[in-house]
Chain A
Amino acid sequence: MKLIKIAYRNVFRNKKRSLLSGSAVAVGAMTIVFLFALIEGMRLDMETNLVNFFNGEIRIRDRDYEKYEKYNPLHLNIIWDEIEPFLIQHEDIKAYSPRVVFSSSLYINEKMHPAIAFGIDFALEAKYQKLDDILYEGRLPSDNENELLVSLALAKNLNLKIGDKITLLSTTAERSTNAITLSIVGLANFGVDSMKQPITWLPLQRAQHFLKMEARVTEILLKVNGNRTLVTEKLRTQLDDRDYEIKSLQESDIIYDMMEMVQSVYYMIALFFFLLGSTVIVNTTVMVVYERIREIGTLRALGMHNRLLTTLFLLEGVIISSVGAFVGVVVGSGVSLLFNRIGINFTQALSGVDMNISNIIYPVLDLKTPVIVFVYAVCVSALATLIPSTKAAKIEVVEALKYV
């Protein structure tokens, strides 16, 4: 207990030096907390976009669809009526979205413009994701009406507005061609750069009629309760007799899978930051050791053991790094929470990056993060002080007393 008091007192003996050491740890901790929150925000944002727009938590498609995806293989489809009762009854399935995804051309003013079209069951989609967040202007298309929702980017590029009629051309499931005229009733802001492509959403039934694939869909996206991997395995076993490909989000999207994998790399980066911060502490402690060499000699002459001396310097390091890490974690958490509300605009930085990440990222602070970062910071910084502390303990008494 006395040792702690001495260590505490020593910290305040040279306030500026202690402040410098503590600040280094604080900056490191703050940066790491914010970095982790930003990465978590990006991961969750990417996951939300992938789940809502592209892959679902689990995606069901025809077994051969992926192999021929670039050929717009609408004939490789799923009979929706056959699988819907199974999905309704399944205890692990929270929501589902049957879709027809196809490449198309928009015929406007005698010119063709490429676009990706989605046939959507808007009633089921409303249960699958918040459509109010997507709808920028106007309303959603009505089932069985020749109506269309177009992405804001498409509307801007082609100077389209609500009420305009456009003709959509595509290859059908019979591998023939067809065209349909639809009225624009709404503009959608998907917020994701990859969804800023020319994208149109039309009612599923109209898409099925137009593409000659009545009651059929190209994919079904699922949101599930519990572990995705386990539910995916379960569905594979239960639907084994059908020609389906059932993939979890991790299996469908390599980038997302990688993003989960590289989280361990972030911990390595964090370690590097703390070691960098710790060099200041090491440096300061070394200076303190030399500055207090007479004191060390006196203490040793009075009978203080090497171990106690090492512990004393170690305690000083722990106190400084604890205070620094605490301040850093608090400030880092505060900054993360602030940006969680206002967001960080990455529009320019992400332009052209096909990663399904929104332009505005909201850092997400996981409650575990500040605790882990605090413990991590204190441990790394304290361990770093061991080097000069051991050095101090090894100083010969006679040598130290020379300075008296």
Chain B
Amino acid sequence: MYKRILFFGLFLIIISSPALFCLTAQQIIEKAENRESFQSTYSEGRIVSTDRFGSKESSFKSWSEGSESALLEFSDGQRVLKTKNDIYLYYPDAEVVIRLQGSALRQSVLGSDLSYEDASGFGDTLSNYDVELISDRLLNNRDSYLLSLEAKSKNVAYPKQLIWVDKDNFIIMRRELYTKSNRLLKEIEVLEIGSFENELVPKVTSVVDKLKKESSTKMYLDLLHLNVNHDKSLFSLQNLTW
């Protein structure tokens, strides 16, 4: 009798062990997003975009606080401010700050493959998308989770996404962005991971807008400081025009 109970107990443990140790799609997304969000950052980097006419490089400085406030300053003087609900552009020769809304958010940043919408981040995935774990896949010889995301509402830029999350470090290594009818719009892939202040973050990222011919963009992160104390006014409209 004891042997039967022991056998049944062992059987239960064996069949339930994958469920105990495997993560759900929601948990994978949470882990990936948690590791991406820092209290505050200061970074420097470059955007190299290539199109039919050749390549060009722009450098940038970036300040961020949480996931809602960010300020980008490009070498040509253009500044982009992201607040909780809006994105603002500042140009030195313009007397007004331009608030981007609607289709203008899809405009390219410095002629690259990256839109202002992309640059401001992909937001809270679980609130906006239904997620499903499709399979474990190898991506560039690394074990990854492949997840499918389907938008819950029309208020998102990309109705469907496929994302590959690295099993070791939970970095989103690749994103494929689709229309509702499964037309591929954009591919974003991490080409190199770097370590800054003991944190692993994407160092080189490639963005390819599939709607543009002969076009691609690489983003290089050259410097990253984490948990920096920013002045509160840094992310204000007044500061943007200074």
Query: Which residues of A come within 8 Å of B, CB atoms?
Result: 68, 71, 73, 75, 107, 110, 112, 146, 165, 167, 169, 171, 174-181, 209-210, 212
Contacts and interface: CB of A to CB of B under 8 A. Distances in A.
Contact of B94 (A75, A176, A180): A180
B195 interface: no
A171 B53 contact: no
B53 A167 contact: no
Contacts of A176: 56, 58, 74, 76, 78, 110-111
Given A174-B56, A181-B93, 10 more contacts: A75-B53, A107-B94, A167-B96, A175-B49, A175-B56, A176-B56, A176-B110, A177-B110, A179-B98, A181-B95
A48 B119 CA distance: 48
A146 B108 CA distance: 26
B104 interface: yes
B51 interface: yes
A181 B96 contact: yes
B35 interface: no
Contacts of B91: 177-180
Given A171-B111, A175-B51, A177-B111, A165 B95 contact: yes
Contacts of A209: 93
A177 B92 CA distance: 12
Given A175-B53, A176-B78, A181 B94 contact: yes
Given A110-B99, A171-B111, A179 B93 contact: yes
Contacts of B94: 107, 167, 179-181
Interface string B24-55: 00000000000000000000000001011100
A365 to B, nearest CB: 50
Contacts of A73: 53
B70 interface: no
Nearest to A110: B99
Complex A-B, nearest 6 residue pairs according to Cβ-Cβ distance, in ascending order: A181-B95, A179-B94, A179-B91, A175-B111, A180-B93, A176-B110
Contacts of B110: 175-177
B131 to A, nearest CB: 34
7 contacts: A73-B53, A110-B101, A176-B78, A177-B91, A177-B108, A178-B78, A179-B98
A73 B110 CA distance: 15
A112 B93 contact: no
B89 interface: yes
A71 B52 CA distance: 10
A174 B57 CA distance: 10
A76 to B, nearest CB: 8
Interface in B191-223: none
Contacts of B51: 175
Contacts of A181: 93-96
A174 B47 CA distance: 14
A75 B111 CA distance: 13
Contacts of B96: 107, 167, 181
B162 to A, nearest CB: 30
Given A175-B53, A179-B93, A180-B93, A169 B98 contact: yes
Contacts of B53: 68, 73, 75, 175
Nearest to A171: B111
A179 B80 CA distance: 13
